[in-house]
Amino acid sequence: MTVYFKIFFQKFISNQKHYPILTAVASGLYPLLFYITNNYTIANSIGHLKYFLFNFIILPVILFTAIYYIFKLQGLRRYKKYPLPFLNIFFFIFYMTICYYAGIHKKWLLLGIFLAILFSIFLNKYLNKVVVIQFILAIISLLSFAQNNYAISNKWKNLPDDILNINFKKKPNIYFIQPDGYVNFSELKGENYNTDFTDFENYLADNGFTYYYDFRSNYYSTLSSNSATFNMKHHYYNDKPQLSEVLNARNNIVSENAVLSIFKQNGYSTHFISELPYLLLNKTKLGFDTSNFIDDEISYISKGLGKPVDILNPLKKEFFNKSDLSKFFFIEFFNPGHITANKRYSKGKELEKKEWLESLKIANFKLKNLIDFIIEMDASALIIIMADHGGFVGLNSTSQSFEKLDNRDLIYSIFSTKLAIKWPKGTNYKYINELKSNVNLFRIIFSYLSGNQKYLNSMEKDESYMIIKKGAPKGIYKYIDNQGKITFEKR
């Protein structure tokens, strides 16, 4: 078998005959696998698979085959050696550009045309060798994908007690508002941020909010942090330091999780409202009863960024929908956010800080609008304002966080998060000592709603973890321990 394959392989790369189907598949297969391997948290749905197979494989096969046979017609036959080399190189670069930039990039499109023309004229006899290289790249990408996803289980989501069967004694409407990257007031006054928003802090106090100083996230990003929050468990990045995100993160947040299950079991309707479809990019089955985005509004290839939509009107719409059920709202917006992700585009830490502080003003404006409406219309509501991670101010880019850091303030700039809760009137105990990190938020909220403190016996440790790729052996490290002290311990 090996001998026959070797003979076939040598014959294939040495002859100059063109094979339209192989050439077409080769042009799209590696870009397809490259995108899925590097964006699996986005592209892990059956819909994505169908989309990529049609656009990256089936469509080029049809096009390449049709053009190949057109150029075999009398009068065009002398040019038949040019079209497939051109199409292969152009489509390969075109697909890679779409996958890398999540859209068409004019500069790379023109470069693709130019290189494809040069290749088809001067190097067309090497087409089969290029096809082989493209298939080798695809195999490498497939092996990488298999390695990253092998033996990943959902066992980390298993809970240590019977909280999934909890019964609520109180059922207020609950508004979980998440401003992206909003750092705790205790950290805002520190060295890196060095700013004072006492007026907004006073606004929250005047409206009955309890503020939780030194609160922090357990993970560095929206997906990793919320995966832990909505499942009330540590995932430790699936113990995969070669990845930058949690596998199936979006499914863990908006599709199936312990928090949604508990709310539904206790007779709540659940509603997801967001400025951007970032958490819906993989078009997973929605576990919430409603969302302000529908599937058709979400592209199959997208970063989930762009122009934010209004979130106050969708909230009003759902609020005024008559229902006997209590309501849980997850409301997400993307201010203040974090500094730029890529060091190549960084403006330097001082300018990045300045822009973040401007975005913080916008976040406060949005929060006031939401809070004013909720308090006016729903006086008995439980309102939670909790960020997903810090703003990374003090660094030049968020990518710098993958390097080992020793400075306490820089580490807290990654993990420090805002938490403020407006408890319903008459609430005496407000869990000041228990609420320390995101992972335990809902366990504590559910203990309050049930009136049963036994669920506090199974809280996760308030530890914060980071993937380190530079400055220490690659791995997952505990950066902040259960007492809030800086440490550096590899898992």
Q: Identify each DSSP E strand in 257-322 by its residue range.
A: 268-274, 290-291
Q: Please report, in angstroms and rounded to a whole number, the separation of the first and last CA atoms in the chain.
A: 45
Average pLDDT value for residue range 228-252: 89
Q: Which residues pair with 383 in a beta bridge?
A: 175, 422
pTM for the full model?
A: 0.89
Q: Which two tokens stand for residue 432?
A: 């000041």
pLDDT higher than threshold 80 for residue 485: yes
- CA angle 77/80/81 to nearest 5° reads 140
Average pLDDT value for residue range 172-192: 94
Banded model confidence at residue 254, pLDDT cuts 50, 70, 90: very high
Average pLDDT value for residue range 250-267: 96
**295-335 confidence digits (pLDDT tens):** 878 888 877 677 899 999 999 999 888 788 899 999 999 99
Average pLDDT value for residue range 256-266: 97
Query: For the ranges 42-46, 333-337, 352-356, 461-465, which has the lowest average pLDDT?
Result: 42-46
pLDDT higher than threshold 90 for residue 148: no
- Which sequence spans correspond to the domains of the chain? 2-149, 172-490
Banded model confidence at residue 119, pLDDT cuts 50, 70, 90: confident
Query: For the ranges 154-158, 179-183, 367-371, 441-445, which has the lowest average pLDDT?
Result: 154-158
- CA angle 377/272/175 to nearest 5° reads 40
pLDDT of residue 110: 87
Q: 11, 115 in Cβ contact below 8 A? A: no
- The per-residue pLDDT of the chain, averaged, comes to 90
pLDDT of residue 9: 57
Distance CA 335, CA 252 (A): 23
Banded model confidence at residue 112, pLDDT cuts 50, 70, 90: confident
Average pLDDT value for residue range 89-103: 86
pLDDT of residue 7: 55
Percent of the chain with pLDDT strictly greater than 90: 68
Q: Which two tokens stand for residue 358?
A: 């401007």
Average pLDDT value for residue range 274-291: 92
Query: For the ranges 136-150, 215-229, 258-272, 468-482, which has the lowest average pLDDT?
Result: 136-150
Phi then psi dihedrals of residue 170, to 5 deg: -115, 145
Banded model confidence at residue 3, pLDDT cuts 50, 70, 90: low
Q: Which residues pair with 470 in a beta bridge?
A: 403
Average pLDDT value for residue range 140-148: 81
Please tell me which residue, 112 or 474, carries the higher pLDDT value: 474
pLDDT higher than threshold 80 for residue 213: yes
Distance CA 424, CA 410 (A): 36
Cis-peptide into 179, omega within 30 deg: no
Q: Does domain 172-490 have CATH number 3.40.720.10?
A: yes
Q: Which amino acid is at 94?
A: F
pLDDT higher than threshold 70 for residue 81: yes
- CA angle 209/270/172 to nearest 5° reads 40
Q: 289, 269 in Cβ contact below 8 A? A: yes
Tell me which residue of 88, 24, 76, 73 sits closest to 53, measured CA to CA: 24
- CA angle 95/279/274 to nearest 5° reads 125
**368-421 confidence digits (pLDDT tens):** 999 999 999 999 999 999 999 999 999 999 999 999 999 999 999 999 999 999
Average pLDDT value for residue range 64-68: 94
pLDDT higher than threshold 60 for residue 290: yes
Tell me which residue of 354, 350, 328 sits closest to 442, measured CA to CA: 328
Q: Which amino acid is at 35?
A: Y
pLDDT of residue 113: 86
Distance CA 250, CA 304 (A): 12
Query: For the ranges 181-195, 236-250, 324-338, which has the lowest average pLDDT?
Result: 236-250
**4-60 confidence digits (pLDDT tens):** 555 555 666 667 788 899 999 999 999 999 888 877 777 777 888 889 999 999 999
Number of C-beta neighbours around residue 182 at 10 A: 30
Q: Which amino acid is at 487?
A: T
